[in-house]
Amino acid sequence: MTLPHTGRALADAAPVPYWLDRPTRPDPLPPLTGPATADLLVIGGGYAGLWTALLAKEADPDRDVLLVDAGTCGWAASGRNGGFCAASLTHGLANGVERFPDEIGELERLGRENLDAIGATIDRHGIDCDFERTGELAVAVAPYQLDGLAADAELGRRHGRDVRLLDRDEVRAEVASPTYLGGLWDTDRTALLDPAKLAWGLRRAALDLGVRIHEHTRVTGLTADGPALRATTAGGADAAPGTVRAARVALATNAFPPLLRRLRAWTVPVYDYALMTEPLTAAQRDAVGWRNRQGLADTGNQFHYYRLTADNRILFGGYDAVYHYGNRVAPALEQREATFHTLAAHFLTTFPQLDGLRFSHRWGGVIDTCTRFCAFFGTAHQGRLAYAAGYTGLGVGATRFGARVTLDLLAGADTPLTRLDLVRRKPLPFPPEPIRAAGINLTRWSLARADARDGRRNLWLRTLDRFGLGFDS
Ligand SMILES: Cc1cc2nc3c(=O)[nH]c(=O)nc-3n(C[C@H](O)[C@H](O)[C@H](O)COP(=O)(O)OP(=O)(O)OC[C@H]3O[C@@H](n4cnc5c(N)ncnc54)[C@H](O)[C@@H]3O)c2cc1C
């Protein structure tokens, strides 16, 4: 339903990701034409590919590293996300405890080390991406969610997290919303950042170290070539096709049609949407408080995530998570009117004092959801190719860890990372179509219903829970 006030608020919103719509966006690098060779070919120039290239070069400056992207580095999920850079490698502590009970302590430690290392890399390479380690505040907006927050607080404390459980008045003193009934502030395990500026900064750092990057270069096929692999590429409109012969290949193509057949069973592309407001005036800032600038998320199954930007806009995203039959991915799916109006209406319910504020941008992007909600890893072509996929909407931080695992796998090394269950075990696959779409849509419907029924999960969700299967964004 299009309400008059959401229509007004959205009337001037540009249908492009705010983060990418800025004059500082770098010019594209030329496509690959003709034959090339490399020690390591990285396919995909989002965070996963950029971290892989950068870490490979930092470890061995003589290694010849070539990265190609079908578009430009950071144009996809990495340049259009919420910018919540979480320490968690397991899509949250509760999911990690459930799936990896024996090593969750180690995964928590590695996640924290990973977030610290991201901060250190940003400093070392002078990447200006508005990195603010403000933590994340989870808010209850329905009475039944309060029990969940208390349980999460207890779990967090047991795992050494600095968590603060806030009652109704305390949480509203942090951020003024009449919808908040309580909150849980995990103070230092999430940083907020400017996603596109991080991707562009990693790209520049990689180039500075000597990584060769070709943009508008899509890999169309991979074949064995003696002890190496050969990738064929298609360039932009008038670029000739190319080939790259590489001893090792890192596959970092996220939710896009995978070059490796087996990945089709393990991930589904799911669209997630966001709005950006105009910058708040000083009076509007005063009306919401939010002096500690935490990243915010409510705690229903269909949740919103929201945050301030460096210039005090509010990004407001989430809620709908949309799957299209047959794993469809297409630019047209990045715009969804109904979702934008839902988000705008929910924004005004959350912050009625900001009525009149307009949205400057609206966009969507695709995430690679897997049934365990956190990345999985593997090799193919006798260990000459390695991949990490399935970050399920929490890849801003975890992709750096995934890049480390990818490089260890490509080295054929037995390391503390390659020995992890997280790395060795795969998620349960999704069924083929048409059962895939039917199952995902039934799950979405059931999750929405649970939110409307005080969190009570129906038989379908309880069955999925029993088998450790799920659908999330
Ligand atoms: C709207 C939205 C909000 C999100 N919010 C958050 C958040 O707040 N926090 C969080 O942690 N995560 C968030 N995520 C998820 C996060 O953005 C991703 O997990 C992360 O960016 C994944 O990085 P990536 O490098 O794997 O993928 P991408 O950034 O998607 O990069 C993949 C790249 O591969 C390239 N490619 C694909 N196929 C080929 C090919 N055949 N040849 C050459 N190149 C190819 C593409 O062009 C693309 O650039 C969000 C995602 C979306 C869409």
pLDDT, tens digit (0-9, with 9 covering 90-100), for 27-75: 999 999 989 999 999 999 999 999 999 999 999 999 999 999 999 999 9
Q: Strand runs (DSSP E) across 196-303, as ranges?
A: 212-214, 218-225, 228-234, 242-251, 268-277, 295-298
State in Å: Cα 280 to ligand 1 middle. 28
Ligand 1 atom with least separation from CA of 86? 11
For position 335, what pLDDT does the model report? 97
* 182-186 vs 212-214, strand pairing mode: unpaired
Confidence of residue 464 (pLDDT cuts 50, 70, 90): confident
For position 241, what pLDDT does the model report? 86
Residue nearest to atom 12 of ligand 1 (CA): 394
Q: Average pLDDT in the 152-169 region?
A: 96
Strand partners, 65: 40
- In 3D space, the residue among 293, 356, 317 whose CA is nearest the CA of residue 135 turns out to be 293
- Cα-based distances in Å from 418 to 100, 411, 422, 458: 15, 11, 9, 38
Helix 104-124 vs helix 398-410: crossing angle, to nearest 10: 100
**Ligand 1 site, CB within 6 A:** 43-49, 68-71, 75-78, 80-84, 86, 218-219, 252-254, 256, 259, 272, 274, 317, 365-367, 391, 393-397, 399
Q: Average pLDDT in the 355-382 region?
A: 97
pTM of this structure: 0.96
DSSP tag of 275: E
Ligand 1 atom with least separation from CA of 218? 42
Best residue for ligand 1 mutational test, from 69, 131, 369 (most atoms within 8 Å of Cβ): 69
pLDDT at 192 over 90: yes
Cα of first residue to Cα of last residue in the chain, in angstroms, is 23
pLDDT at 465 over 90: no
Confidence of residue 1 (pLDDT cuts 50, 70, 90): very low
State in Å: Cα 444 to ligand 1 middle. 22
Contacts of 124 (CB under 8 A, 6+ apart): none
Residue nearest to atom 38 of ligand 1 (CA): 253
Report the alpha-carbon distance of residue 346 to residue 329 in Å, rounded.
27
State in Å: Cα 254 to ligand 1 middle. 6
Average pLDDT, the chain: 95
Cis preceding-peptide flag for 434 (omega within 30 of 0): yes
Least confident stretch, 34-48, 280-294, 450-464? 450-464
pLDDT, tens digit (0-9, with 9 covering 90-100), for 97-148: 999 999 999 999 999 999 999 999 999 999 999 999 999 999 999 999 999 9
For position 4, what pLDDT does the model report? 60
For position 467, what pLDDT does the model report? 81
